[in-house]
Structure 1
Amino acid sequence: MTTAAPLRPRGFRAARLASALGLGLAALTPLGGSLGASPAAAQSADAAAPPATLVADSVKVGTDRNLIADGHVEVLYQGTRMTASRVVYDRTGDRLTIDGPIRITDANGTVLRADSAELSRDLRNGLLRSARMVLDQQLQLAARQITRVDGRYSELSRTVVSSCEVCAGHPRPLWEIRAARVVYDQQERQIYFSNATLRLGGVPVFYLPRLRMPDPTLKRATGFLTPKFRNTSLLGAGVRLPYFIAIGDHRDLTLTPYLSNSRTTTLGLRYRQAFVNGRITATGALGRDDILPGETRGYLFADGSFALRDGYTLSFNLETVSDAAYLLDYGLPSKDRLQSDIELSRTRRDQYISTRLLAFRSLRAGEDNATLPGPVAVYTQIRRFRPALIGGQAQLSFQGFGLARRATSDPTNTGKARDMTRASVKLDWRRNWVTRPGIVVSAIAQARGDIYAIAQDPNWADSIGRIAPAAALELRWPWVKAGRNGASQVIEPVIQLILAPKSVSAAPNEDSTLVEFDEGNLWALNRFAGYDAIEQGPRANVGLRWTRQSADGWNLGVVAGRVFRAVDKAQFSTGSGLGGAKSNWLTAVQLKTPNGLSLIGRALFDNNFSVTKNEVRLGWAGDRLNFGTSYVWLVPDPTENRLTKTAEWALDADWNFRGNWTGSVAWRYDFEAERATSAGLNLNWRNECLSVDLSLSRRFTSSTSVSATTDFGLSVDLIGISGRARGTGAYRRSCSG
C-alpha cells in the first residue's frame, strides 16, 4: 500500500524525512535557492521552507532510530522530483543513504542519475556512484562517481561528456570528450576539464590538458566558437577562429582571426550592445593579404536604433570598405553601392515625420564617386485628415531636399557636379461613392508646388518654381460570383480619367531616374517615384482585375491594363514600357496553391506582341523540398544604364533528401553572355549532437577590380558545446529494445 506524507501517527516521521529531502533537493538543484548557503541559513531555510511531498511503499523508524522510506520512493519539492528505491536518514550522523536507481529532475530539465548515493542531509556534500548528469536535456556527463562540494561544485572522475544518443545498441557516440577529472560549477554554469581528449567515432583526435566550456543553459559565455575552414582560389586555405567575449549582460565582442597559407592575416570583429531604449551592432575586419600586397584592407558595417521620447525613433546605418573587391574576396555580402544614413522619424496613425541624412559610395567600375550625390539631406512630413466640408480623405505632404557633390566642375555639362535644394508641398484628396448598380465612383485631386535652388549646372537656372495640379475620375465596377463549392470570383474593370497640365516647368531629376510599370502603379496619378519628375498631359488608365479564391486554398489573381495618352510628352524610355501615346500592355498573374506552389509573372508588350519586359518566378514550399526559379528579360535602355539586352535565369533550392541530410543549390546564368555568372552548392548533415556544413561556390564573372574565384567552406559543430541550437529530431539513432 502506498503512503503519502504527511501522515498520522506515522505521518510525522514521513514529514520529517520529506522536509529533510525537500531542503536537500533545493540545494542539489542547479541554480537552486539554497545554493552556497551557510549552515545557519540552511537551518533558517529548513524552518521557513514549504513542505515537501514524500510518497513511498512504507515509511518507518529503524532499530537505530533512523528514518527509512522503502519501495518506489518519490519526493516532490518546488518543481524538483527525486525517485529512488530506498532512502535512509541517519539522524545521528545527519546523513542520507540513497539506493538507486536514483533520478533527480529539476524544473529546468536538468537530470541527475546515480546507482547509489551518500549525502549530507542538505545534499550539499557527499558522493554519488555510477552517476550521470544531463544538462538542458542534451549534454550528458557520465562519471564513475560524482562528489558534491558545498552545494555548488560537482566533481566528476573518469568522465565521458557527449550530447549524442548512447545506448546498448549504439554504445559509441559520434563524438565524446573523455577527461580524468571534471568540475561543474553550478553557480557560474561552467564546466572545467583536466586531461581532456576529444574523440570522433571513438578515435582520439585532439588532446588538451585544460579545457573550460559553459553548460548548455548559459547562452552567452566568453570563449572560442566553432572554427570555420575556407579555401579560395584567391586566398588559398584558411581558417576563421572566432573568440566570443561577454562584456556583461548587455554587450559582447567577437574577435575572429582569419589566417591562410597565402600570408593573409585578418582580424574580424563584431560588437553588440543593448540599451534600455535601443541597440547597436558593428561588424568589420582589418588585415593584409597577397591579393593587394602592401595594402591594408578591411570594411566596417554598423547599424542601430533607439526609441526616444514622444514616439520618435533614431536609427543609423554605416557602410564603408577599403576597396571594391574586398567584400567578394572574403565571402561577405555582395554590394556594388554602399549607403550610410542617419534618420530621426516618428510614425503615428495620421502623421509621419522623418529627418534623414545620407551618403553614398559606388563600388562599380568606371563610376566616379565625386559625381555621386552626397551628402543628401531629406526632411519629410505627411499629415492625413478628413476635410469637414467636402468629405473624403486628404493628405498634406511637405518635403525639403538638398544634396551636394564633391565634384566642383563638369566638363561634360551633364550635371555631374550639380548641387541642388528643393522644397515641395503636395495636397492629395480622394472621395468614393457607391451607386445603385454597384459602380464605385471616386473623385481624386492633387495639387503640388516646388521651389528649386541649383548651383554648378549651367543647363539650369539658379532657381525654378512650379505648380502642378491634377484631377481624376475613377470608375470601378466589381462583379462578384460565389460558386456552390465555396469558390468566389471577383472581376473588376477600372477606368481612370486624368486631367493634368500638358506642360510643367522642368527641373533636374535626382530622385525619379528609374521608372517601374507594374500592377502597383497601373492606376496612379504619377508613376515617377519621387518629386522631381511629374507625369504630364491628359490620359486614361484602363485595366481589368480578376481574382478567384477557392475553399480548398487555391488563389489566383490576374491584372491587365494599359495607359492611353492624349499627347505623348516623351517622358518615358522604351524600356520602361510607358513610352508613346499608348503604353505597352501590362499583364500580371499571381497563383498560390494549397500544396505550396506559387507563381508570379509580369510582362510588358505592344500590339505586335513585341516584349519590353518579361519576368516570372516559380516557387514550391514543401515539407522536404523548397525551390524557386526565376527568369528576367529586359530590352536595352540607356536611361537605366542598360546598354545591352538582359536575359538571366536563376535557381535556388533546398532539399531534405534523407532524414538528416539537406542539400541546397544556387545558380545564375546569363543567356546574353552565354555563361553562368555564379553557382553554389551546400551540403549539411545534422543529428541530435553533430552538424557538418560543406559549401562550394564559384563566381565566374570578373572585372578590373573583381576576379573570378572559387570558394570552398567547411564547418563542424558539436551541438551542446558549440553555442549552436539543439540538434534536430529528424534523425536520431534508435535505442529501443
Structure 2
Amino acid sequence: MAQNLPICDSSIETQMDHLSDRKIRFEADNINIVPGLESKSELIGNVIIRNDNSITKSNKATYNQSSESLSIEGDVSFKQDDLSVLSQNAEFSYSSETFSFQDAMFEMNNNNSRGEAELIEINENGSLNLKNVNYTTCPKDSIDWMIKANEITLDPKKGEATAKKLGLTFKGVPIFYLPKISFPIDSSRKTGFLAPEIGGGGRSGNELRLPFYFNIASNYDATIIPRILSGRGFQLGSEFRYLDKNNTSNFQIDYLSNDHIYGKSRHFVKINHETIFENGFRARIDFGDTSDGNYFEDLGRSLSLTSITHLNQSLLFDAYGDNWSIMGRFQNFQTIDESISQDQRPYYRLPQIKIKGSLPYKPFGISTSLDSEIVYFDREFGVTGWRVDNEPKIEWELKKSGWYLKPALSLKHTQYELKNLRDNQKSNPSRTLPISSIDAGLFFERSLKNYPDHIQTFEPRILYINKPFRDQANIPIFDTIEPDFNLIQLFQKNRFLGIDRIADSDQISLGFSSKITNMSTGDELITATLGKAFYLKNQKVTLPNQNNNLNTSSDYIAEVRLSLLSNLNFNFSHQWSDDQAGVARSQAKLQYRPSGRKLFNLGYRFRQDLLEQGNISWSWPLSESWNFLGHYNYSLRDNKSLEQFYGLEYESCCWGIRMVYRQYVSTRDGQEDNSFGIQFILKGMTSIGTNANKLLERGILGYSSEYIE
C-alpha cells in the first residue's frame, strides 16, 4: 500500500513552488532524498504523481533539482482529461513544463481513437507533438484502417492539427499520401478541402463534387463547390454565410457553363437574410432566381426540388408587441413551370401591409381586437389593383374547469380599387358582412377500472357560425383558395383561405376527441377524433367555375392513432361522406420497430380523382455488420413506380460503407432517372463518396444516419 509521507511531500512541493503555479503531490512506497550539489529525490514503488488536471503512475520516479526534471520509469501511465498515455519511460521538465513519453501508446476517449508514437510531447500550452505516429479508431484486434505520419502536432487552443508525410492504409492497402495537411480536431472551423462526394447514373452522368471551405472569420465563412458532371460539364457552386448579433445571411450562387445536354449556360441564385434591429423591428430577404424551368429537374439532386414550380422573391419587415403586430412586404415570384398558364400564376404583392392590435384590458373576459390589411396586387395578365380589409372583433371568453364558452362577433369590410378590368366589371367593388360565432367545449376524465394508472379523456366541441350571403361574383381572386377539408378546417370560420371570398354560413361544426394515457409514462396509447359540419342553409359563395354547395352536411373526418405496443404504432385518417360520393381522402401508416435499428413501415394515400399510392420502407439488419434498407413508392392509379431505392450498409467498429441505388420520377412530365452512390466512412475521421443521409432519412420514417457515423 502506498504510504503518504507529509514531510517529503512538503519538501518537494516547496522546491517546485518557484517553478510553477501548479501544486504537485507525490505518493510512493518509499521516498529517498539524496542531498548534495545535485540533489535528487527518488520515489520507488507504486508512484502516483497528481496535479490539478492529470495523474501519472509508475514504478519509479527521480527528481533532479539541478536539471529541474523528473524522470519516470516502469509501466508509466498518464491520464489528463480525455487523453491516456502508456509508456515505459517519460520525463517532465519543470523549466519548460514539457512532458515527454518514449515509445508510447495513447488513447483519446472522446472519439475512441488510439495509436502509437515514437515520441509524445505534451507542452505547457496543452499542445501535443507526436513523432512517427500510427493512428486509428479501430480496436487492437482488428486494425482495418491506419493513418501513419512522420509528425503530428495537435493544438487544442487553436482547435487544429498539422501532419507531415501522412498516409492512409485500408486493409493494408495504401489509399492516399499527403506530404502535409492540417485539419480541425474539435468543432472549430478550418480552411481546407471537405470530403469529396462521388456518384453516378442518370441523365447527367457520373458526378464528382470537391468542396473547399474558407474560414474567413469567426462569424462568416464561404464554401466553393466544383462539380463535374460527365454528361453536362463543369458547374461551380458557392455559398457564403454571415452571422452576428443582429444579422443572419446565406448566399448561394451556382453556375454551369454551356450545359452539353441543355445547350445553354445555367444558373441558380438564392439569398436569405435577416436583420433584427435594436428597436425590435425585423427585416427579411428571401430571393431565388434560376435560368430555366428545368434547372431543378436536371441539377437539383433531390426529389423535393424537382417539384418546385415557383421561386419566392420577397422583402419583409415586421415587428411584434404584447398586444400588436405589424408586417410590411414586397413579394414577387418567378414561375419556373412554363406549363402554368398566365391566368393561374401568382400575383405580386407590391406592397402588402398588415396590422393587428388588441386592447390590453379584458374586463369580465371580454377582449377587443382589430385586423387590418392593405395590399396592391400586380401581374402581367388579368385584373390588378388595391385591396383594403378591416375587421374589428369582440370576443367573450368564459372558462372553468371542465368547460369553456367563447361567443364572438366581428364586422368585416373589404374595399377594392381595380384596373385592367373585364367588360361590365366594377372598378371599386366592396363587401361588408357581420360574422358571429359561438365556440364551446367540455372536458371529461376518468380512470380505467382495471388499469388505475391509465386515464381516459373525452372532449366534445361545438362551433356555431353565422355569416350572411354577399354576392362576390364581381370580386377578383387574388390570393384565395379552398384548402383541403380536415379537422383544423372543420373549426375555421371561413372555408376559404384568403380574403377574396367569405363563405356564407349558417352551420354547426361538431367534433369529438378521446384518448387513453398511461400516467406513469406519459405515453398516449389511443387517440381518436371524429368531426362533421352541418349546414343549416345552402352555401352560395364559390370560387369561379365551381358549383354551389347544396349539401346539408360536410364529409366525416376521422383520425386514429394507436400505440398499444411499444414497438408498433398505427396512424389512420379518413374522410368520407354518407352519400354516393364515397371516400374523399384516406391515409394510413403502420410502423413496426422491434429495436432501434430494425424498423419496417407501410403507408397508403388516397385522394379521390387525384392519386392512390402505396409505399413500403425498411431498415433491417441482416447480421451484426450488414444492414439492408429500402423504399418503394408505387402509384396504384398510374400503375407505375414513383420512387424506389435500395441500399446495403456495412458497419464495423471503426469504419462503414453505404451503397444506394435509386430510381425515381425526376421531371414534372413523368420522366425517370436513376443513380448509384457509394459512401465510405472512417469513424472519427471523415466520409468519402455520395452522401445519402437526407435521402434515407426522408424515405425511411424513423431511420437515422447516425447509426453508421
TM-score by length of 1: 0.82
Contact persistence 2:347–2:479 (CA under 8 A): no
Please state whether the residue corresponding to 1:192 is helix, strand or coil: strand
Q: Which residue of 1 aligns with 2:218?
A: 249
Amino acid corresponding to residue 499 of structure 1 in structure 2: N
- Following TM superposition, by how much is the alpha carbon of 1:542 offset from its aligned partner in structure 2, in angstroms? 3.7
Q: Tell me the number of residue pairs that the alignment of Structure 1 and Structure 2 aligns.
A: 677
Once residues 615 and 350 of structure 1 are traced to their aligned partners in structure 2, the CA distance between those partners, rounded to angstroms, is: 40
Q: Which residue of 2 aligns with 1:665?
A: 630
Once residues 357 and 622 of structure 2 are traced to their aligned partners in structure 1, the CA distance between those partners, rounded to angstroms, is: 54
1:426 aligns with 2:391: yes
1:381 aligns with 2:337: no
Contact persistence 1:480–1:490 (CA under 8 A): yes
Select the structure with the greater relative contact order (CA < 8 A; seq sep ≥ 6).
Answer: 1
Once residues 153 and 266 of structure 2 are traced to their aligned partners in structure 1, the CA distance between those partners, rounded to angstroms, is: 44
Q: Which residue of 2 aligns with 1:472?
A: 437
Cα distance, 1:527–1:628 mapped onto 2, change above 3 Å? farther
- Following TM superposition, by how much is the alpha carbon of 1:199 offset from its aligned partner in structure 2, in angstroms? 0.4
Please state whether the residue corresponding to 2:347 is helix, strand or coil: coil
Q: Which residue of 1 aligns with 2:654?
A: 689
Once residues 729 and 263 of structure 1 are traced to their aligned partners in structure 2, the CA distance between those partners, rounded to angstroms, is: 33
1:2 aligns with 2:14: no
TM-score by length of 2: 0.85
Q: Which residue of 1 aligns with 2:296?
A: 327
Gaps of 5+ in 2: 689-703
1:514 aligns with 2:482: yes
Q: Which residue of 2 aligns with 1:616?
A: 588
Partner residue of 1:118 out of 69, 81, 91 = 91
- Following TM superposition, by how much is the alpha carbon of 1:351 offset from its aligned partner in structure 2, in angstroms? 2.8
Amino acid corresponding to residue 679 of structure 2 in structure 1: S
1:159 aligns with 2:133: yes
CA displacement 1:491-526 (0-9 Å, x = unmatched)? 444443333212244422222223221111223321
Amino acid corresponding to residue 557 of structure 1 in structure 2: A
Cα distance, 1:448–1:282 mapped onto 2, change above 3 Å? same
Amino acid corresponding to residue 390 of structure 2 in structure 1: V
Q: Which residue of 1 aligns with 2:467?
A: 500
Cα distance, 1:453–1:626 mapped onto 2, change above 3 Å? farther
Please state whether the residue corresponding to 2:217 is helix, strand or coil: coil
Once residues 454 and 79 of structure 1 are traced to their aligned partners in structure 2, the CA distance between those partners, rounded to angstroms, is: 76
- Following TM superposition, by how much is the alpha carbon of 1:538 offset from its aligned partner in structure 2, in angstroms? 2.5
Once residues 559 and 575 of structure 1 are traced to their aligned partners in structure 2, the CA distance between those partners, rounded to angstroms, is: 28
Partner residue of 1:679 out of 629, 640, 644 = 644
Cα distance, 1:14–1:509 mapped onto 2, change above 3 Å? same
Q: Which residue of 1 aligns with 2:145?
A: 175
What do you get for the CA RMSD once the two structures are aligned? 3.5
Once residues 606 and 728 of structure 1 are traced to their aligned partners in structure 2, the CA distance between those partners, rounded to angstroms, is: 45
1:82 aligns with 2:56: yes
Once residues 559 and 180 of structure 1 are traced to their aligned partners in structure 2, the CA distance between those partners, rounded to angstroms, is: 71
Partner residue of 2:313 out of 311, 333, 340 = 340
CA displacement 1:365-410 (0-9 Å, x = unmatched)? 41257943225532222223466567433332111222211x2xxx
CA displacement 1:46-70 (0-9 Å, x = unmatched)? 36x1423333333321365202222
Amino acid corresponding to residue 229 of structure 1 in structure 2: I
Residues 301-450 of structure 1: pairs in structure 2 closer than 5 A: 301-330=270-299, 331-332=301-302, 333-334=304-305, 335-368=308-341, 371-385=345-359, 391-405=365-379, 407=380, 416-433=381-398, 440-450=404-414
Once residues 187 and 493 of structure 1 are traced to their aligned partners in structure 2, the CA distance between those partners, rounded to angstroms, is: 61
1:213 aligns with 2:182: yes
Task: State which drifts further: 297-306 or 264-273.
Answer: 297-306
Q: Which residue of 2 aligns with 1:98?
A: 72
Once residues 627 and 428 of structure 1 are traced to their aligned partners in structure 2, the CA distance between those partners, rounded to angstroms, is: 50
Cα distance, 1:349–1:666 mapped onto 2, change above 3 Å? farther
- Following TM superposition, by how much is the alpha carbon of 1:355 offset from its aligned partner in structure 2, in angstroms? 2.0
Once residues 518 and 184 of structure 2 are traced to their aligned partners in structure 1, the CA distance between those partners, rounded to angstroms, is: 51
Q: Which residue of 2 aligns with 1:538?
A: 506
- Following TM superposition, by how much is the alpha carbon of 1:232 offset from its aligned partner in structure 2, in angstroms? 2.1
Contact persistence 1:361–1:369 (CA under 8 A): no
Contact persistence 1:432–1:440 (CA under 8 A): yes
Contact persistence 2:184–2:190 (CA under 8 A): no
Q: Which residue of 2 aligns with 1:648?
A: 613
Partner residue of 1:52 out of 24, 45, 48 = 24
CA displacement 1:135-167 (0-9 Å, x = unmatched)? 5444434222336788677553332122222x2
1:635 aligns with 2:595: no
Partner residue of 2:12 out of 11, 14, 24 = 14
Cα distance, 1:470–1:646 mapped onto 2, change above 3 Å? same
Gaps of 5+ in 1: 21-42, 408-415, 637-644, 733-737
Please state whether the residue corresponding to 1:328 is helix, strand or coil: helix
Amino acid corresponding to residue 424 of structure 1 in structure 2: D
CA displacement 1:529-575 (0-9 Å, x = unmatched)? 22221011433334444444354731322212123141231527999
Residues 24-35 of structure 1: pairs in structure 2 closer than 5 A: none
Once residues 349 and 519 of structure 1 are traced to their aligned partners in structure 2, the CA distance between those partners, rounded to angstroms, is: 29
Once residues 520 and 557 of structure 1 are traced to their aligned partners in structure 2, the CA distance between those partners, rounded to angstroms, is: 15
CA displacement 1:649-684 (0-9 Å, x = unmatched)? 344444456445555433322222110112223444
Q: Which residue of 2 aligns with 1:143?
A: 117
Please state whether the residue corresponding to 2:566 is helix, strand or coil: coil
- Following TM superposition, by how much is the alpha carbon of 1:235 offset from its aligned partner in structure 2, in angstroms? 2.0
Q: Which residue of 2 aligns with 1:267?
A: 236
Q: Which residue of 1 aligns with 2:698?
A: none
Amino acid corresponding to residue 175 of structure 1 in structure 2: W
Once residues 395 and 122 of structure 2 are traced to their aligned partners in structure 1, the CA distance between those partners, rounded to angstroms, is: 76
